[in-house]
Amino acid sequence: MIRVFIIYVFTIVHLSSSGQEIKDTIPKISLATIATVNQGNSYITLPMDIGNLEPLWFEANIVPNFMIRKSKNARLMGVLTPQIIIRMYQEESSPVRTPSYIPQLSVYYRLDETNLNNTYSIFGKFAHHSNGQDGDFYLPDGEINHISGNFSTNYVEFGIINNHYNKKLNAIQFYNTSLEIHAPGWSNVELEGQYSMVRWHNAVSIYKMPLGKQNTDHKRARISLKAEAMWMFGNINDWQAFSLDRLNVNLTFYYHPKFLEDIGLFAQIYHGMDYYNIYFDHQISVIRFGIMTEIQRF
């Protein structure tokens, strides 16, 4: 009888410890991680683009995030992001033309704190996008002045984010949808009729976690995939309401080799409006490769 009781006790202890071990290995998704995923990663492309984008030595997207929060477990957080996108062209003197300056202030709020592995968060953002130029928007021949023309717009964005841990795939998934609004009077008057003032963003991000036991505070995804789609509303060059020209799509595959610490390799496919400030009148389709920061720890 005593032997049976001892076996029973050890069985209960073993099952409890196993359950706790499984629970402890589930990544804890913080609000800072949610915000970082939504804000995007810094990257530099290699001079080997495939598509109709002008030949570049590189494109760099610099996205530093400054977190404003009471504690790491806070449900409310602000994020200051002085984002800059620059392109160096394969031309004489290798010019860096009209960078995109996109300073932005975002606020994130987690709606539920009882289950950090499957929650909803909401966010709001105020952003400015300009190219630092003050020349005439149009050239004398009526074409857009891409070299020194003034481009400036302000906008707000509101959205919701769901994060979820998929136990079967051992992957962390993020789904977000948001609406971007450029209010009347917030943009160059020249943009009216050719630049969308209302945009609907959707994105899915999947981070495949590594197998094996690791410190759950320092787990890093070796592979991630992000799919993005944006639909542009409003009057744009007299396009039809359901014209596919209104659709922008972006697919990014990221791989983090073991021998690298804070950066990894990425491949990206993009089709749609050129997002590089005053070059918005260009429709681009491009496949490109480069290096990208990936600072998320799960």
Tell me the pairing of strands 76-89 and 56-62.
antiparallel
Residue 50: what are its φ and ψ, rounded to 5°? -120, 115
d(CA 71, CA 260): 30
Q: Which two tokens stand for residue 231?
A: 């639909």
Q: What is the pLDDT of residue 133?
A: 95
Q: What is the pLDDT of residue 145?
A: 97
Contact 200, 230 (CB under 8 A): yes
Those residues of the chain that have pLDDT short of 70 are 1-27, 116, 212-218, 295-298
DSSP H or E stretch at residue 12: helix 2-25
Q: What is the pLDDT of residue 169?
A: 87
- Picking from 133, 90, 105, the residue whose alpha carbon sits closest to that of residue 277 is 133
Q: What is the pLDDT of residue 230?
A: 98
pTM greater than the 0.85 cutoff:
yes
What's the burial of 252, exposed, middle or buried (CB within 10 Å: 0-12/13-18/19+)? Answer: buried
Q: What is the pLDDT of residue 12?
A: 41
Domains, the chain, ranges and CATH?
29-293 (2.40.230.10)
- Picking from 57, 183, 193, the residue whose alpha carbon sits closest to that of residue 137 is 193
Q: What is the pLDDT of residue 79?
A: 98
Q: What is the pLDDT of residue 72?
A: 85
